[in-house]
Homo-oligomer: A and B are copies of this chain.
Amino acid sequence: MIREACPTLAPQRREHIRLLVRESGVARVEDLRRELKVSVATIRRDLEVLEEEGKLRRVHGGAVSTENRLDEAVFDDKTNQFSKQKRAIAEEAYQLIGQEESLFLDGGSTTLCLARLLKNRNDLTVVTNSLRAAAELANSEPRVILTGGELRKISQTMVGPLTSAVLSQVRVDRAFMGTMGFCLKNGLTTTDPNEAFVKGLVAEQAVQVVLLADSSKAEKVSFARVSDWDKVDILVSDQKLPPIFTKSLPKRGLKVCVV
C-alpha cells in the first residue's frame, strides 16, 4: 500500500504547522513529520504553501517564523529576484567609492544591494530617501541621514516638498540612482513624478551621478522624466546592455561599465 488513510485534512494540518512554527520560532521537517505522522514530502508541500502565504519562511531543514523582525520582513520580494545581476552591478559600483565620502542612495533593489555592501564602512556618510536602505543600514557602521518627507508606500521612498527641503541642505560626493527605464532619446524616466523630482534634484546637486540599471531597463520609457543623460556621469549595467548604449553614451561624456 502506498498511501495510508489521511487522519487530518490538509488545511487543518497546515494550521497545525503554522502554530508550531510560530510558537517555537522554528520547526524541522523531521520533527513535523513525526508530530503529524505524514511523509516528509507532504510536510515540504505544506511548508511550500505556507511560505507562499507568507506564514513562515522555509530554510534548509525546516522553517522559521516570519512574525516580527523588521529588516527581513520588509525585503525579500524584488531583492532576490534578479539578485545576481544586481549584486554584480552593485559590487562594481562599490569600487567607485573612495574614503570618507558622502553618498546618496535612492530607492530600488540595486541600490539596496549596494547598501548591504556599505555596512562595514565607518568612514562613509549615506544620505537616502529609501526606507529600505535606511533599515538595511540601521544597525551598521556608516553614518545615515534620511531625507524625510512623505512615504510613498509602493516604493518605500520619501518624496515631496519636505524631501526637497532637506536635500537642499546637504551635498553628496556621489549619488547612486536607479531608474524604471532609460533610453537615448528620453534619458531616465520613472513612473511617479514626485519620485522623479527628487531624483532630478539629487542628480543636480551631486558631484558625480552613477546610474545603476540592469539591461532590462534599457529602451523602457515611463511617465515621469527624471533627467537627461548630461546629468549622469557613469552607467553601470550588465552585459546584455544593447550595444547602442555602449557606443553612444561615451560620446556624450559618460563612462559605461558592464559587468
Point out residues on A near B: beta carbons under 8 Å.
6, 8-12, 25-26, 28, 51, 54-55, 57, 59-62, 64, 66-68, 70, 74, 76, 116, 119-120, 131-132, 134-141, 143-151, 153, 156, 158, 161-163, 165-166, 169-170
Taken together as a complex, chains A and B put the C-alpha atoms of A60 and B6 apart, in Å, by: 11
Contact residues in B for A66 (Cβ distance below 8 Å): 139-141
A-B contact pairs, 9 of them (CB 8 A): A11-B64, A12-B64, A54-B120, A135-B135, A144-B153, A145-B150, A146-B158, A147-B148, A161-B169
Taken together as a complex, chains A and B put the C-alpha atoms of A148 and B158 apart, in Å, by: 9
Q: Which of B8, B141, B158, B169 contacts A162, CB < 8 Å? A: B169
Q: Given contacts A11-B26, A64-B9, are A163 and B148 in contact (CB under 8 A)? A: yes
Taken together as a complex, chains A and B put the C-alpha atoms of A62 and B74 apart, in Å, by: 28
On whether the beta carbons of A140 and B54 are closer than 8 Å, the reply is yes
On whether the beta carbons of B6 and A61 are closer than 8 Å, the reply is yes
On whether the beta carbons of B148 and A146 are closer than 8 Å, the reply is yes
On whether the beta carbons of A151 and B145 are closer than 8 Å, the reply is yes
